[in-house]
Structure 1
Amino acid sequence: MRSYGPGHFVIGERRWQSPVLVTPTVTAAWSVERADEIALDNLALLTEMPTPTELLVVGCGPRAVFLPPTLRAMLKAAGLALEIVDTGSACRIYNVLLAEGRRVAAALIPL
């Protein structure tokens, strides 16, 4: 994750102007515009990875929001621990954990 700003992310050499799912090996456009649209089915990329993700950092935009308890329980059952924060914090957390060699992923909604 090189940078982020209003409406975009720069990941590697590519500029993304959409929500994204980011793993150490894959970055993909994410079909979520707002935190209340997050669901297990639009996180399928993460649950289907050959190497399981140990922590999912969710960047909700300018402010962190609570995800419904049922969704949190489903993600936990799928093996995903969660950290739900604002997008700027999510980008920083992802980079630190990635540098530590953790199996981390980020689900990011632009600012």
Structure 2
Amino acid sequence: MSPGIVIREAHFPGRAPIDAYGNGGFRFADMSHRGSLLCLPSGIHGWEPSDPDALTRDDFRLVFEQAEEIEILLVGMGRELRLLPKPLREMFKAARISTDPMSTGSAVRTYNVLLAEDRAVAAALIAVD
């Protein structure tokens, strides 16, 4: 008997610039993804923060697991800039990761530039419509 459809976590095992964003998703590496993304040294992962308006350490589990490879984390907060909660900022500081929250569009553009410069950059990008 066939197991049917197997749903796996979205993961692209490489680093790639983001070609486009909007309509609730992103395009990169000749693929598209509906929803938010984590762009990390281990690749590009589908990301579903529990509450985009109240991000927590659990939302950034993969980032903290790869902290030794990340110097800068760009956080695309959606259409509007919002600050990360103070406890979360302190956790990133303790992990020696500089965080820079901004709109998702700004985060995508900055990520692409820093990636092209081969910097130790990661991005957490909340999808926008």
Normalising by the residue count of structure 1, what TM-score does the alignment of the two structures yield?
Answer: 0.90
Q: Which has the larger radius of gyration?
A: 2
Q: In the alignment, what sits opposite 2:105?
A: 88
Other-structure match for 2:88: 71
What is the identity, as a one-letter code, of the residue corresponding to 1:64? L
Aligned residues: 111
1-10 or 87-96: bigger deviation: 1-10
Check conservation: 2:41, 2:66, Cα contact below 8 A. no
User: Match for 1:44 among 37, 61, 69?
Assistant: 61
Q: Take 2:47 and 2:110, find their aligned partners in 1: how far apart are those partners?
A: 19
For 1:76 and 1:50, locate their aligned partners in 2 and report how far apart those are by CA, in whole Å. 11
Q: Distance in 2 between matches of 1:27 and 1:42?
A: 15
CA RMSD of aligned residues (A): 1.7
* Unpaired runs of at least 5, structure 2: 1-17
Match of 2:48 among 26, 31, 37: 31
Q: Is the 8 A contact 1:54 1:79 kept in 2?
A: yes
Task: Indicate the structure whose relative CO is greater, using CA pairs within 8 Å and at least 6 residues apart.
Answer: 1
Distance 2:67 2:76 in 1: 23
Q: What does residue 7 of structure 1 align with?
A: 24
